[in-house]
Chains A and B, each alone.
Chain A
Amino acid sequence: MFFRMIKGALFRQKSKMILIAVTIALGASLATAMLNIMLDVGDKVNQELKAYGANITVVPKENSVLSELYSLDEKEETAAAHLKEDDLGKIKTIFWGFNIIDFTPFVNTYAKLPNGESVKLTGTWFNHHLALNTGEELDAGIHSLRSWWDVKNGRWIDEQGDSADDNSAMIGVALAEKLGVSTGDKLEVKTSKGSKALNITGVYDAGGDEDEQIFTTLKTAQELSDTTGLIDSIEVSALTTPDNELARKAATKGPGSLSPADYETWYCTAYVSSICYQIQEAIPDSVASPVRQVAESEGTILDKTQLLMILITILSLFGSALGISNLVTASVMERSNEIGLLKAIGARDYRISGIVLTEIIITAVVGGVAGYFMGYGFAQIIGQTVFGSAIEMKPMVIPVVAVLIIIVTLVGSIPAIRMLLRLRPAEVLHGR
């Protein structure tokens, strides 16, 4: 009989129940969308922030110590120690290798131009194709790490299209104007180790010191500095988790200061410091350091964005609870005769409350399921509109939304249940 009553109430009062289900669905959809975005926004914001460059730099340990001790002037000194080019692929083999989204090596040298001026010449990857031992393939280089460069004329060097022997180079806009050269011109450069005629494929505007430099392929720069197979530094762009107390402690006092349990937690979390540590483990005699400004900005933006999402989720659930409360109370008021009658014929309060709550929870489940899929749609719309990509739906959101909806529904039903318990059959059946 219980289920016949529930069935009757649900199916023969469809419009009322649909209204409650729609309210619950709206709350559930907002919660689903916001929670999924909140959980995915870290990756999205990180990807957006990657447009501002690398967040980790790797240099030889020896250079790092010398640089710290004597504040060496780059223009006067060339790198005393080098990293091995062959070790580059190891960056993707670390525990958080999946979070390494781009990296590029640099070889720096100073070259004399025909007018006698000395300029910084940097060899690097532009869109270098890497086939790793793990089977993973990726294109790495400064094309994506310097996405803000404005190529005024010409084009980016295409390592996969141009010949490695082309001696292709890109020149900064300030230097190009000073020398009166442009795309398609040849530029003679000479170092103590040799000379080359560079083919200018593009002129870029970086908006800084790099506008006074020449960028060429790694191979060309290595030949000009006689450092074949060696590199000076690496820039790495990694997806990181915002720092917390644990990460700050590891960064300032060193991982050795952590307890074994804390060390494990720190090592297995994508903090920028733990990724640096793992890069140092993978590349011998290297020092990996976070670019603090970028790392801290990421953390701040992420924290604020996630706080905003949590507030929106709480507000939407609060609104939903109010809506449910109003609708359920209105429903109980409308059914006061029926409830009075049930009390009159001997139904105890808990049995009537049980029926009303079961109806509402079934409606909440239907509304919640519909809301989840609506939320999926909302999340994708927001993802495409704001980030230009889909939001990944996290399975953990399903139980969280389910629990939230049940809580919101039960809390929203409290005023109605209190009213129901106060109803006296004599008042509703005989008006006294």
Chain B
Amino acid sequence: MSLLEIKNVSKIYGPLKALDGVDLTVENGEWLAIMGPSGSGKSTMMNIIGCMDKPSLGEVILDGADIAKESNKKLTEIRRDKIGLIFQQFHLINYLTALENVMVSQYYHSMPDEKEAMEALSRVGLADRAKHLPSQLSGGEQQRVCIARALINHPEIVLADEPTGNLDEANENIVIDIFKQLHRQGTTLIVVTHDPEVAEVAQRTVVLEHGRLVKEIINENFEE
């Protein structure tokens, strides 16, 4: 059974159809890129897959459960237990250190474990920056803290929204390397991007335009 099945999903805001009859399947351990221009429905898709929004029509089956029919309380539980979120704007809590930002995710999932949080920061190369506040970190470092936070609870899916949108080339490469490492470890990755260089390292790319899936590209040269 597929990890995620999106069946004929539409999201309607008044006269606007942000998503219009989208069908998509994501297998366990797959690395999928979702591309499209601004206003194509990428963020709406990300919100629905990330259980932060519900579709107006259609089904979203995640790990066997239709999240379109779940209560807000249940969606919160699914987000907490199954999904790791990475944001373009990082969204770190500015009065907590890098280490504490990672521990916050543990706190709302189960129990905060400083040692484990420290190991997560080490995996993204930030062990020496653990006690720094977000304002004392570069954009690339903040994004890596965001990745460590997303991974700390071992989610089934990592959802990344424009993860390299605010980064320079060097930091972009670091983030892509981390994604490759995650993929090798079997993590399912869904990366929303408008950057072709980020999309072309993924296993498969789907292209959205005006809320519809218009193209699917399988990366023949994908490096396992």
Q: Which residues of A contact B (CB under 8 A)?
A: 1-2, 4-5, 8-9, 11-13, 337-338, 340-348, 351, 424-426, 429-432
B79 & A344 in contact (Cβ 8 Å cutoff): yes
A345 & B93 in contact (Cβ 8 Å cutoff): no
What distance in Å separates the Cβ of A431 from its nearest Cβ neighbour in chain B?
8
With both beta carbons as reference points, the residue of chain A lying nearest to B46 in the complex is identified as A430
Interface of A is mostly: helix
What distance in Å separates the Cβ of A239 from its nearest Cβ neighbour in chain B?
55
Q: Which residues of B contact A (CB under 8 A)?
A: 18, 43-44, 46-47, 50, 52-53, 73, 76-77, 79-81, 85, 87, 89, 91, 93-96, 100, 103-109, 112, 133, 149, 161
What distance in Å separates the Cβ of B62 from its nearest Cβ neighbour in chain A?
15
What distance in Å separates the Cβ of A279 from its nearest Cβ neighbour in chain B?
68
Contacts of A426 in B (CB 8 A): 47, 50, 52-53
- CA distance in complex: A239, B161 (Å): 76
Given A9-B95, A432-B43, 16 other A-B residues pairs in contact with their CB atoms under 8 A: A1-B100, A1-B106, A1-B107, A4-B103, A5-B100, A8-B93, A8-B100, A13-B95, A338-B91, A344-B50, A346-B79, A346-B81, A424-B52, A424-B53, A426-B50, A430-B52
A1 & B52 in contact (Cβ 8 Å cutoff): no
6 contacts between A and B (CB under 8 A): A1-B100, A5-B93, A345-B79, A346-B76, A347-B108, A430-B43
- CA distance in complex: A82, B42 (Å): 105
Interface of B is mostly: helix
B100 & A4 in contact (Cβ 8 Å cutoff): yes
With both beta carbons as reference points, the residue of chain A lying nearest to B85 in the complex is identified as A344
What distance in Å separates the Cβ of A345 from its nearest Cβ neighbour in chain B?
5
- CA distance in complex: A347, B52 (Å): 12
Contacts of A8 in B (CB 8 A): 93, 95-96, 100
Residue of A9, A13, A345 near B149 (CB, 8 A) is A345
Contacts of A9 in B (CB 8 A): 95
Contacts of B106 in A (CB 8 A): 1
- CA distance in complex: A342, B104 (Å): 8
A432 & B47 in contact (Cβ 8 Å cutoff): yes
What distance in Å separates the Cβ of A342 from its nearest Cβ neighbour in chain B?
7
What distance in Å separates the Cβ of A7 from its nearest Cβ neighbour in chain B?
9
Contacts of B73 in A (CB 8 A): 348
With both beta carbons as reference points, the residue of chain B lying nearest to A343 in the complex is identified as B76
Complex A-B, nearest 7 residue pairs according to Cβ-Cβ distance, in ascending order: A346-B80, A12-B95, A1-B107, A426-B52, A8-B95, A426-B47, A1-B112
